[in-house]
Each structure stands twice: as structure tokens, then as C-alpha cells.
Structure 1
């Protein structure tokens, strides 16, 4: 009971606060760097675009002459839909009156749903951002796409073999929110994940006419924020509902010392708990102001028709720090109060180490060890015709580094003191969570056609293989495998000025059958955490659309 009432809201929401990294690091990877790269399926390691070579392959900076500036603007629209459906025979400890998928009016003593919905729908209502100065999430105006400016400058002195550059860009920005009462809110009503590189000193050296080397250092800000409702449709919580409604029913108005002693005072609770009731809500925000990393690149171009490039983007180990705030549901508070009202209940509390009181709200400090994963990418470009160039890249990201997520608290947490008896991954001041992610390889292809001396047309395609195992898929991470399509054009106004326009569309559909994911809908007494839709079929449909413009000019 203690585990359910105190550890679950705390651990559940902190786990959730880290989960956006898992999805959006992959969902958002390379989506907010450069619009020309998007139009080429991010297959640009051998043909890095302008100052954005800082990220894609810093060796490509040697192509810049004199002073050049790049300014880009992006409009991003997230469309995320989640569906929940009750399969045949759905129940949690004999109860099926889940208001998410049941049309019946809630009544005391009701157990079985007589009128299931075809499916319940959850929709993203607006983008969300975490604002460092305000230390909180804010909602972007509903219906408006998210706007993001990017900028950079590079300089190669006359006659020099070295090019210097720096840029402001966002390796990862994603966030969304839903309206109150949305069925998807039990895995995040508001989510925001940001990694913004605010300074990236870079240098590239032209070894000879065919070979260039480059390096960059990224100084980034990292933030993760989440607001979520909490519930635990689990067999153990079903037992508590059974005791409250069936065992305690006859004693609600006629309680006596005998019933208090035999039932540990549990029947004195003015409100019970159940598998479909809310256990409260929680907000978590973690950040790190300086998260350094580096990129190393090589570019080899033996001819005008062929080029080879590769880049290594280092990992970045961080210790995010922040705050959590829990609003505990009344049912949990009442259960602990009721136990303390009985002699046998108080003895049980002391033996098990249960708290004597659960406050309406709790706040505290928490830190999280997180490794931003390393990435390697290599590619080629080849002119199959004088006016037609094809690019092809393969890449690997070390998501297997997310074997465990570890959280540390600034004080002993009584819930963890109890939980450490149940798991080797828990101490009185820390919590380690096994994730077992994998490191996938992916590829992308791009095509650029020179229609005229001034106009270039581009197409790109990048299938994205998920790092999330099938038994870890979930609705907070509304993506498994994905496909990205890009199209764009480049126009040269004069020898010193280029304009790029791009439209990109990414889509991902996922089907999570009931009882298949330990982070969404798995049943069983050993799946207390991270299963707010236990026993339900879950489907997700995610669409991301980006419109972008880039202005590149030499001075």
C-alpha cells in the first residue's frame, strides 16, 4: 500500500519525465538543424549545407570563402493522436468500468461495463515549451505552428586553409500538451524536451584539394519537463477496491472495535482507491545549463562527381537537476489515515514502515544521470548525370547507453526505504530504472537536380528505425518506426546569396496490443508502474510537418 501511495506517484512521474528524451531524441533528431538537410533526407554528410556543417560534418566548412552568415526559420506542427480500445474479456481484477473506454455512468458497486466505447481518442491540443527563465512550461497558442529561428556565421581569411565558425541551433526541440480530461493525460498532459546549442566554436582545415578535416565543440542547454495525471490499473489496486466496496461495505455505517481490529481500520476511510481512480498528479522539471559535446568530421572529394564524408558526434554525460511537485489523491490519503485510526492498523504501519500521514502535496529536489547518446554517420554523393546528384548516408546512434536511468534525491524518501526491500535497484535516496534500449542503424537518401544555373530541386527520404523495444512502446513516446519525406528548392539570387525552401513530413503509426508493453498496457501484479492503460489495446498516429526557409549570404 505504501508502495502504491507514495513511491508510485514519485517514481512514475520521474520516469515519465525522462521518457520524452527517448522518443523525441529520435523523433526530433536532425529535424531542427538545417532545412536543406531535411529536403535531402539528412543524407548530407558528404555534402554538408553551409554553416550547418558544424553539426553534420564540420570538415565541410572549408567550402566557405570569406565571411558568410546563415539565418533560418522553421514552422513546426505536431499532430499526435492516440486511441484506446477494450479487447474482448477486458478487466482488471474483475473490474471493467474504466471511464476511459466505458460509457456507463459511474455507480457505487458497479464492476462490469455494459456499454464499451468503440475507442477513446486522445489528441495533442497545442505545442508546449519549457522556458528556463520562468522555470516552467508554457503552452504555445492553439492552432499556431511552433516557430524556431536558427543562425550562424563562418569566416575563412583570404589565403588561409582554416575556416572558423559558430552557430545557434537546436539538436532537439519537441513538446506538446493536451486539454484537461484528455484520456492520454495519464502519460503526460504536458511534455517538453529541449537541447539547444547556444555556442559552437568550430574550425575546419583544408589538408589539400581533396581532403578536409574539421571539429566543433557544442555548448548546449538541456531541459526536460513534464506534467502528468497518475493512475494505476493493477491487480493489487483492484484488491484495495474489493476491500473498500465489498468487504467494508457492511461496516461503513456500523463500524466497531472488532471490525477495526480485524480489518486494520481500513473501513474508516471516507474515500477508497481503485484501479481506475486518479492517484493525483505530478510536475517535474530538470535542466542543465552547460552540456558540452564535440563533433569530428572528414570530407574527401577526389573529383567533382564524387565525395565521401563521415562525422562522429560525441556523447554528453549530464546530471540534470530540478524539482518535483506531487498532488496526492484523496483516496490514498484516506487509506493511510484509516490505518492509523486502528490499533492493529497502526501496528501494521510500524511493522511495514508505512507513513502515518500522506500530505495533500509534496515537493522536493531530484537529479537524474543522463547520457546524450553518441552518433556516427557516413555518406557519399555522386553525380549520376551532369545535373543530377544522389546522396546516400548510413548512421548509428548509441541509444543502448540508456540501459538504466538513475535518479537521486536530496533527502531520504520513506517510500524508497520500503521499496529497497523489494528491489536491488532502489536505495533510500536513489532509484534505478531498467530500460534496455537498443542502438539501431538507419539510412537516408537524397536527390538534387540542377534545373538551371540558379535553381535546384531536392527530394529526400529517411526511414527511421526505432530504438525502443516492442515491450517498451508507450503513448508518451508516440512513435516507433517512422518515415520522413522531404522536398525543397534552392535559388541563387546572385553569386553571394542563396535562398532555400523546404517542406518536410514525418509520420509514425504504432499498434500496441493489450498486455504487450511494460511501459503502457501490461497487466499482472508485477507491473505496478508505467502501465496506466493496462489491459487496453493502444494505437498511436504521429505526424510532424515542418516548413522552412534559409537565407545564406557572403559579405
Structure 2
């Protein structure tokens, strides 16, 4: 019976938070700010561009290079938005019918501002072989809801940090073709929590926190074809199966539920999406280069979160595969100064009926502008700014505390994400040696 009741309590945690990113810079929990140069043109030509700055998207980007190249940057991600209650109800065992969940009816800006660093380096060992290394944080975010928020039973505080180390090797069999492969070693650390309803509304809420971390691995492969003014690129980044080892800490439950207070060790398993990217760059004039990129995200890999012993439950997520489309340009004002701009449309993988306050995500448009200036023959400074508009979306995933027991407590979620947007400012540089 103890395991059954505990399993029900975990359902109230809404474990989606292990990976959810809400209104971040790309769909769901993916952060794409791995290059300041890329941000300036709305990530529209990265799979077909060259140099260390494009390593995250395509390890073939360094094929055929001579000497060394490095890229570094930091992005400030500043999200805004309101998570508003419409008519969320809770049905306790002591109630004959559902009643209003109460609490603060609007949670303003629950997604914390973030600062995302990135860096990469590459060196041409021979005219045909190059080695590279990219370090990034592709899935990272923090959200905070007040303890008095209407979403408190499905979301409280959530933190995810991933660190991806990507060693790469590229081979250029001819001056027109480059092939590359990479290993993705990812460390993930997550902490998420929510409040738990006691049996009586007159009693204070209990609380539950899940913490875990682990190392896991994936891979990336890509190719480029370069001919005159045209470069075409394609790459595939695998899904990564993450296994987090950690603890569930429960406190504050009263009466018949008090036996559930304490700490239990468990694991949580989930998958990040695969990415298939195709793009091209066309040098239309001596000054103007046009960029285009399409990404297919395999979000269906994030179909469930599987909790290990002693919980032994699979929690469905039902994410759907999505598309991202981007177009942009680079304009060389002179030998030292380049301007960029771009537009990107990115779909959300979350579905109506399955979206909770940990993932207040919607389809988005990204409008970008950027610039580069060659301070010396070997050093370039990059800057970019992005403005994202996020479509209003329902928050409507029903959960239940203590599911499957005599004290099952459904939370009938009915809310909406409104007026969400994101500002991103990025600054970095590229050094050739």
C-alpha cells in the first residue's frame, strides 16, 4: 500500500519538468544559442557554414580547414509571460464535488532569466583531416512559481542543467566534400518540486522534491558539399537516453498520508529528441549571402518518463515531432564589417490536453539581427539580438495526487499561457590561429 500511495503522489509532481523549458528560445526545452554568429541570422545557415562556430550543427563544418579556429559567446535569455488560471478545480476525498483550487490566479514571469555560455575550437591536422571540440548547454532552464500560485500542485520550482561535450572529427576527401562525425557526452542535473494537497483544505500543503543527475551519450554525423557560391549541408543528431539517479523527498503530509514522508532513492529515464537538419548558403553577390535551414525534431522520443523501483511507473508525455524553418542573410558592408538578419518559425511539440504549467509552450516566431566586426586579421567580435513572440496556449493537463487509492485527489487543470515573449542578447568572438 505504501508503494501504491507513493506512486500516486508522484503523478501530482508532473514529472514532465525533468526536461521542460517552457518559453525558452526554441520549442519545448531545447536551447539553440550555441553560436552568436548563428543567432544574428535566426539560425538559418549553420549546417552549411564552416568553422568552429558551426560544430554543434554539423561536425563536417571544419573539414578541409587549415590552422586553428575557435568561437565563444554568452547569451542572455530574458523571457516574459503570464500563466493565468481560467477554472482549475480540485476534488479532495472530503469534498462532494470539485471546488476552485484557490491561490494567486496569475503567475507573472515564472521562467527565470538565464545566461547561456558556449564555446568551440577546431584545428586542421592535415589538409584533409580536422579535429574539433564544442561545449554547450542545449537543455537548461529554471522556473519558479510562488507557493501560493494556482499551479502549486503541478509546478513549484524546476531546474535543469545539461552540459554537452562534443569531440568531432572531419574528413575532406576532395575540396568540394566534407564528412564529419562526433560523440555527444551529456551530463544532466535536474531538480523539480511541487506541493501536495493534504486531505483537508484546512490543513497546510505537503511538499515533494525530485533530484537526480547522470552522464549519457549520443552522436552526430554530417556532410557538406561546397561548389563555387553554393554550400549545402545536412546532419543528424541522435536522441540521447538520459538516466538520472537521485531521490524523492516528501514532507508535510498529515494524518493517513504522513507515512509517505521521507526520502526514497529512484531513477528517472527519458529521451531528448533527435534532429535532422538540412540547409544551404548561396553567395548571391560579393557582399550578400543568403541562408536557409530546415530542422525536423524527433520529439516523439519524449513519449514518457519512466520511473524505476520502487515506483515502477511510466508517465506518458505524448510529444509530437515538429518542424523549424529559418531564412536569413549576411551582408558584408566592407572587409571588416558584416551585418546579419533572419526570421525563424518554430513549432511546439506539446499537445493540447497534455500541457501543464511546467511547459507553458507555444508556436513561436524568432526575429533576429546581428553583426560582426574584424578587430584584427585573426579576431572577430560578434553580437546579436533576438525577439521571440510565443502564441497563447492552453494549460490543461489533468493530474491526480495519490492516484489509484481511496484518497485519490484529482486536479482538473484549466489555464492559459498569455502574452509570452523572449528577448535574447548575445555577445562573443571568433579567434583564428
Q: For this structure pair, what is the TM-score category when the shorter chain's length is used for normalisation? A: 0.7 to 0.9
Distance (whole Å) between structure 1 residues aligned to residue 328 and residue 335 of structure 2: 20
Deviation of 1:458 after TM superposition, in Å, equals 0.9
1:150 maps to 2:50: no
Match of 1:70 in 2: 71
Distance (whole Å) between structure 2 residues aligned to residue 378 and residue 34 of structure 1: 18
1:44/1:56 contact within 8 Å kept: no
Match of 2:275 in 1: 375
1:438 pairs with one of 306, 320, 323? 320
2:163/2:188 contact within 8 Å kept: yes
2:350/2:361 contact within 8 Å kept: no
Deviation of 1:551 after TM superposition, in Å, equals 1.4
- SS of equivalent to 1:203: strand
Q: Is the alpha carbon distance of 1:91 and 1:279 closer, same or farther for their aligned partners in structure 2, counting shifts above 3 Å?
A: closer
1:45/1:378 contact within 8 Å kept: no
1:74/1:149 contact within 8 Å kept: yes
1:475 maps to 2:350: no
Distance (whole Å) between structure 1 residues aligned to residue 360 and residue 409 of structure 2: 15
Distance (whole Å) between structure 1 residues aligned to residue 320 and residue 203 of structure 2: 34
Give unpaired runs (5+ residues) of structure 2. none
Q: Is the alpha carbon distance of 1:277 and 1:480 closer, same or farther for their aligned partners in structure 2, counting shifts above 3 Å?
A: farther
Match of 2:246 in 1: 322
Match of 1:498 in 2: 380
Match of 1:294 in 2: 219
The structure with the largest alpha-carbon Rg is 1
Cα deviations by residue, 1:330-372 (Å, 9 ceiling, x for unpaired): 3xx2xx3xxxxxxxxxxxxxxxxxxxx7337221111112122
Match of 1:189 in 2: 156
User: 1:231-270 residue pairs with structure 2 within 5 A?
Assistant: 231=197
Match of 2:141 in 1: 174
- SS of equivalent to 2:151: helix
User: 1:407-422 residue pairs with structure 2 within 5 A?
Assistant: 407-409=307-309, 411=310
Match of 2:237 in 1: 313
Cα deviations by residue, 1:206-265 (Å, 9 ceiling, x for unpaired): 12121111111121111221121234xxxxxxxxxxxxxxxxxxxxxxxxxxxxxxxxxx
Q: Is the alpha carbon distance of 1:223 and 1:22 closer, same or farther for their aligned partners in structure 2, counting shifts above 3 Å?
A: farther
Q: Is the alpha carbon distance of 1:30 and 1:121 closer, same or farther for their aligned partners in structure 2, counting shifts above 3 Å?
A: closer
Match of 1:209 in 2: 175
1:549 maps to 2:431: no
Distance (whole Å) between structure 2 residues aligned to residue 499 and residue 529 of structure 1: 58
2:136/2:163 contact within 8 Å kept: yes
Match of 1:228 in 2: 194
Q: Is the alpha carbon distance of 1:450 and 1:33 closer, same or farther for their aligned partners in structure 2, counting shifts above 3 Å?
A: same
1:478/1:540 contact within 8 Å kept: no
Match of 1:50 in 2: 51
2:129/2:172 contact within 8 Å kept: yes
1:317/1:372 contact within 8 Å kept: yes
Deviation of 1:56 after TM superposition, in Å, equals 0.9
Match of 1:13 in 2: 13
1:518/1:531 contact within 8 Å kept: no
CA RMSD in angstroms comes to 3.2
Distance (whole Å) between structure 1 residues aligned to residue 335 and residue 35 of structure 2: 23
Distance (whole Å) between structure 1 residues aligned to residue 82 and residue 410 of structure 2: 19
2:107 pairs with one of 118, 122, 126? 122
Distance (whole Å) between structure 1 residues aligned to residue 90 and residue 156 of structure 2: 25
Distance (whole Å) between structure 2 residues aligned to residue 380 and residue 488 of structure 1: 19
Query: Using CA pairs below 8 Å that are at least 6 residues apart, which structure has the higher relative contact order?
Result: 2
Distance (whole Å) between structure 2 residues aligned to residue 49 and residue 170 of structure 1: 21
Deviation of 1:531 after TM superposition, in Å, equals 6.4
Distance (whole Å) between structure 1 residues aligned to residue 141 and residue 114 of structure 2: 9
2:300 pairs with one of 393, 400, 404? 400
1:391 maps to 2:357: no
- SS of equivalent to 2:391: strand
TM-score normalised according to structure 2 size:
0.87
Deviation of 1:171 after TM superposition, in Å, equals 1.6
- SS of equivalent to 1:20: coil
- SS of equivalent to 1:37: helix
Distance (whole Å) between structure 2 residues aligned to residue 367 and residue 434 of structure 1: 16
Q: Is the alpha carbon distance of 1:34 and 1:125 closer, same or farther for their aligned partners in structure 2, counting shifts above 3 Å?
A: same
1:43/1:445 contact within 8 Å kept: yes
Q: Is the alpha carbon distance of 1:126 and 1:21 closer, same or farther for their aligned partners in structure 2, counting shifts above 3 Å?
A: closer
- SS of equivalent to 1:7: helix
Distance (whole Å) between structure 1 residues aligned to residue 128 and residue 171 of structure 2: 6
TM-score normalised according to structure 1 size:
0.69
Give unpaired runs (5+ residues) of structure 1. 102-119, 128-144, 232-270, 337-356, 412-428
2:103/2:148 contact within 8 Å kept: no
2:224/2:232 contact within 8 Å kept: yes
Q: Is the alpha carbon distance of 1:483 and 1:458 closer, same or farther for their aligned partners in structure 2, counting shifts above 3 Å?
A: same
1:273 maps to 2:200: yes
Q: Is the alpha carbon distance of 1:535 and 1:177 closer, same or farther for their aligned partners in structure 2, counting shifts above 3 Å?
A: closer
1:478/1:542 contact within 8 Å kept: no
